[in-house]
Homo-oligomer: A and B are copies of this chain.
Amino acid sequence: MTRDTAHDRSAVRRAASIKDVAAAAGVSPTTVSHVLSGNRPVNEQTAARVRSVVNRLGYVPASLARSLQAGATSVIGLLIPDISNTFFAELAKGAEDAAHDLGYGLILCNTEFDADREDRYLGMIRSRFIDGMVYASGSPPSRRRLEALMGKFPIALADEEVEGLSGALIASADHEAGGRLVGEHLRALGHRRALMLTGPRDLRSGAARAHGFRQAFHGDVVERTGDFKEESGHRLVAELLDDGGLADRTAVFAANDLMAFGALAALREAGLSVPDDVSVVGFDDIRAASLINPPLTTVHQPAYDVGRTATAQLLQYVSRGEVPPASRHTLPVELKVRGSTAPPAAR
């Protein structure tokens, strides 16, 4: 073991600072700063000399010090429950694109619906490590805290309005129109009795979907409350199948695709055919929806656009050091009619 090895493994040696460059170039730190920023004219000779030293020393300004001085970090957070859900992954992609366009970094705050985890991430905004937060469907227990932050810090709500939280910057899909499209579609096919699998009671988006659906379907609707997970769609349908509650229903509308997948599985296990015996509709249009068998009829949510819009709007204010005003940006949805829906079988 040579000395070199030991050295390589030890702490990195201190990086060159602006002072080091200044000293080596025989100028003041101020001049070095201006050569690099172009904020004021510098003699070309001097500038060249400084640049050469910068290269030789591999000097890169410490963005941390820069941020401290500037009072902003050019980093925002994206708080979501589950990055492995393709809906949120798409949303994240849109948010990252928007952030990158404006030179901002994006911290991934994946909460798994864990309130403590969410709180820790919200702490980043209080400690001013991030300049703002895009908040997409966090855990209900954190409402209070979110609310307390809302007026003081730049926060944008994406995809979901949190119940009771108004006066915020919001970007979301048109959930009600989505529900309406499904209602119209099923009604037009001839369905009159449906089962609706909703999301958690306190989510506005779910209420909007249900409301639009009832309004347009105009038939007999039984509702069951799920939690947006595949398993819950499976369980709810299986239960109803067991106690005969589904016997007179010809269609199932799940508030998201994952629950629709669960419903599909439960139906299959019960020996029922989709769409011959029962039609199934989802919501979100995640990637797997078109690949599954039968391909799922569902409402396409512009997840990417929601993330991108929420972030772009937020940054528009954050970049000026302002707290965003309340505003709503509703993005259009689209019904994707695929193989999981058909007219009800004649009885």
Q: Kindly report which residue of chain B lies nearest to residue A287, judged by CB atoms.
A: B288
Which B residues are in CB contact (< 8 Å) with A62?
A: 68, 127-128
CA gap between A108 and B65 in the complex, in Å: 22
Asked if A11 meets B106 with Cβ closer than 8 Å, knowing A62-B128, A129-B64, the reply is no
Number of chain copies forming the complex:
2
Distance of A80 from chain B, by nearest CB (Å): 10
- Whether a CB of chain B sits under 8 angstroms from the CB of A333 is no
- Whether a CB of chain B sits under 8 angstroms from the CB of A110 is yes
* CB <8 Å contact, A323 and B9: yes
Which B residues are in CB contact (< 8 Å) with A92?
A: 83-84, 108, 110
Asked if A321 meets B11 with Cβ closer than 8 Å, knowing A64-B128, A288-B291, the reply is yes
Per-residue contact bits, chain A 32-67, to B (CB 8 Å; 1 contact, 0 not): 000000000000000000000000000011111101
The range of chain A's interface size is 35 or more
Which B residues are in CB contact (< 8 Å) with A120?
A: 100
Asked if A117 meets B89 with Cβ closer than 8 Å, knowing A63-B128, A153-B12, the reply is no
Per-residue contact bits, chain A 101-121, to B (CB 8 Å; 1 contact, 0 not): 000011110100000010010
CA gap between A129 and B60 in the complex, in Å: 11
Among A82, A84, A117, A120: residue with most chain B CB under 10 A: A84
Q: Name A86's contact: one of B11, B78, B84, B128 (CB within 8 Å).
A: B84
Which B residues are in CB contact (< 8 Å) with A90?
A: 84
* CB <8 Å contact, A107 and B106: yes
CA gap between A323 and B106 in the complex, in Å: 24
Q: Kindly report which residue of chain B lies nearest to residue A64, judged by CB atoms.
A: B68
Per-residue contact bits, chain A 280-312, to B (CB 8 Å; 1 contact, 0 not): 000000011001110000000000000000000
Distance of A308 from chain B, by nearest CB (Å): 12
Taking beta carbons and an 8 Å cutoff, which residues of A are in contact with B? 8-12, 15, 60-65, 67-68, 73, 75, 78, 82-84, 86, 89-90, 92-93, 96-97, 100, 105-108, 110, 117, 120, 123-124, 126-129, 151-153, 261, 287-288, 291-293, 321-323, 325
